[in-house]
Amino acid sequence: MSDSAKSESANQMWGGRFSEGPDAIMQAINASIGFDQRLYAQDIAGSRAHAAMLAAQGILTPSDAEAIREGLLTVLSEIETGTFPFRVELEDIHMNVEARLKEIVGEPAGRLHTARSRNDQVAVDFRLWVRDQCDAAISGLTALIQAFLTQAEAGAEWIMPGFTHLQTAQPVTWGHHMMAYVEMFARDKSRFEDARRRMNECPLGAAALAGTSFPIDRHATARALGFDRPTANSLDSVSDRDFALEFLSASSICAMHLSRFAEELVIWSSAQFRFVRLSDKWTTGSSIMPQKKNPDAAELLRAKIGRIMGANVALLTIMKGLPLTYSKDMQEDKEQVFDAADTLMLGLAAMTGMVSDMAANQKTLEISAASGFSTATDLADWLVRELGLPFREAHHVTGTLVAMAEKKGCDLPDLSLAEMQSVHPGIRTDVFDVLGVNNSVRSRQSYGGTAPDQVRAQIARWKQILNG
């Protein structure tokens, strides 16, 4: 098609208000078809529901509605098979679909846009797309949670160090550590579920901003598109992007959790820790150092989540200064959301693969758990429980014994009874029962604690929740 023909085609879509076509720079800044063509399935679904409603209300004839229905199916097939002629001069997915529909069915295509606007059209398309991404995130998180549950069940009794400030704090179990991430990602899952419920209202029928004088049935189009109800205010309907912001907010928190475990995998797989092994599926070698096995998948995931958080800030920045209702600024709402969704789904899939693949070095974990005076708190608790010392005094006695062991180059269980009694004469032989890491872990029987019985109880609870 020649430039003049393209310009004429675009002008026909706009009508008589504009006598000249946009120049190349304006076309480049104005067109969105390069990215919003991802909304094609949602756009066609919305148009089909709208046409069916118009026919049911007597606004379209049955023959026009049938022609539109068949024509839209043809357009859908062309896009899915890669033969659809996307045209930049038609700006966006809505105009591209409508123009092609006119080429296929002729005059009836011009009646499809009755009682709607591109404002409510894009609002419903985008909301449908984001709703689909919420469903995908919920599914991906369910798979990830199940992978962590499998790890937790296998290692419910395996001892490992628990950390604060990345310093050895107290012994915990591998299963307990895995279950911490089950809790995190379950909260993420609930955020997407909650956001989905809130966004499940249909803006179609709000038209440009004020509704329409045609006798449309918005409840019918809402039902046809799987929404719970139509939106209740036409001004809000076309100007709202909260649904996209909630998706990005939930995605950002989820991405942060993904990054935290990615960081642990990077640390744990290092030669200094050797807590876990990742297979060749998730690691790479070095071009110069043959001994290297780099956790590149975890590192890349840790970096990529910045794109999700950036998208959240970008869309908040776009929306923060916009008066009601629609402004062209809102065309910039999609690319960030598209990229964030792609990044999140890739991250969830990669993390599920790594969690399923990783193998814990059980012996190394236990040896590490026993180092760094990890049972010092157990000793202080024993002094309180058995000797009746105030906790602050018990804390002081324990600190003195830790300093003694540190000076001798040994751990607390390696001190003799006489050495302990030199600090506090009331200490008895049975104190050594609480200084082993296994006894320490088994004693943490409080609800949500690290004792294997508690871990297994939480595993069973989450299995029941996931199985519905």
Among 429, 423, 437, which Cα is nearest to 395's? Answer: 423
Phi-psi region of 211 (alpha: psi -120 to 50; beta: other; left: phi over 0): left
Active site residues: 165, 286
User: C-alpha angle 241/245/250, rounded to 5°?
Assistant: 150
Q: Which pLDDT does position 439 carry in this prediction?
A: 86
Q: Which pLDDT does position 225 carry in this prediction?
A: 98
Strand extents, DSSP E, 220-286: 229-230, 276-277
The tokens of 136 are what? 């995908």
DSSP conformation class of 284: B
Half-sphere exposure of 241 (CA within 13 A, CB side): 29
Q: Which pLDDT does position 136 carry in this prediction?
A: 98
Q: Which pLDDT does position 133 carry in this prediction?
A: 98
What are the CA-CA distances from residue 173 to residues 151, 154, 212, 362 (Å)?
11, 11, 62, 10
Among 428, 387, 414, 419, which Cα is nearest to 400's? Answer: 419
Residues of the chain with pLDDT under 70: 1-22, 285-292
Quote the CA–CA distance of 427 and 394 in Å, as a whole number: 11
Half-sphere exposure of 314 (CA within 13 A, CB side): 20
Among 274, 122, 123, 259, which Cα is nearest to 185's? Answer: 259
Quote the CA–CA distance of 226 and 46 in Å, as a whole number: 11
Q: Which pLDDT does position 22 carry in this prediction?
A: 61
Q: Which pLDDT does position 435 carry in this prediction?
A: 86
Contacting residues for 462 by C-beta, under 8 A, at least 6 apart? 145, 149, 179, 182, 186
Encode pLDDT of 211-256 as tens digits. 999 999 999 999 999 999 999 999 999 999 999 999 999 999 999 9
What are the CA-CA distances from residue 170 to residues 265, 345, 396 (Å)?
20, 35, 18
Q: Which pLDDT does position 28 carry in this prediction?
A: 80
